[in-house]
Structure 1
């Protein structure tokens, strides 16, 4: 028997967002965050294309029986991009160093600054970017902007 898994890039979808819940509140009565997540049609087509290629490969290798399980896509993978990094404040939340465009001295150093994700855990990349940004913050500490 052979098990073959497909994990791909989770492309940005404009309707995906984090919103304040209308129903759920915390102990202080503040609205809880709610994740709105949908896989776009292009991502579904890419997944189907790759499933078809896997089936072709195993059948060409002599597979007698094949079974495709339902993807667990709707649970999401590495959901990122809510504070995306970029040069244009109209299209991004933070600059290349994680500094918020609109709030002086506020830095974001996690995967939310990445515009899209790869197929594997982003932990090492998060750590490398955070280390790079922290070293710059230390070097620039005397030039901080005050809100």
Structure 2
């Protein structure tokens, strides 16, 4: 299922992550998943939140560079080889994974995936029987 992910550019300095999380908390925006990719000078904070449009508007108002990106969220069993099986199915369909992040919860693992051809990947995942979940589903886990 295609969901919206925030991508926020952050300078690598103390307090910037706290500033973002406090701004979102003040607006009652809840974070379901996050990932930070960084270099020595800056980072990209990726978030799945319950109100992505509100989060983008709020953060832009506060001067942050932020964008929305379409990503997929699949749910795989939390067992050895499950991620390998899912990525193999994507690669066999010539879908390139740009990045992903995951978090295990009990016997299931939600995986956020950014791919090069999101609409085609979404259809292929559905045909392959890989379970997909929405942002709302993430909050119910």
Band of TM-score, shorter chain: under 0.3
**Higher relative contact order (Cα pairs below 8 Å, separated by 6+ residues):** 2
Flag the structure with higher strand content: 2
Relative to the length of structure 2, the TM-score reads 0.26
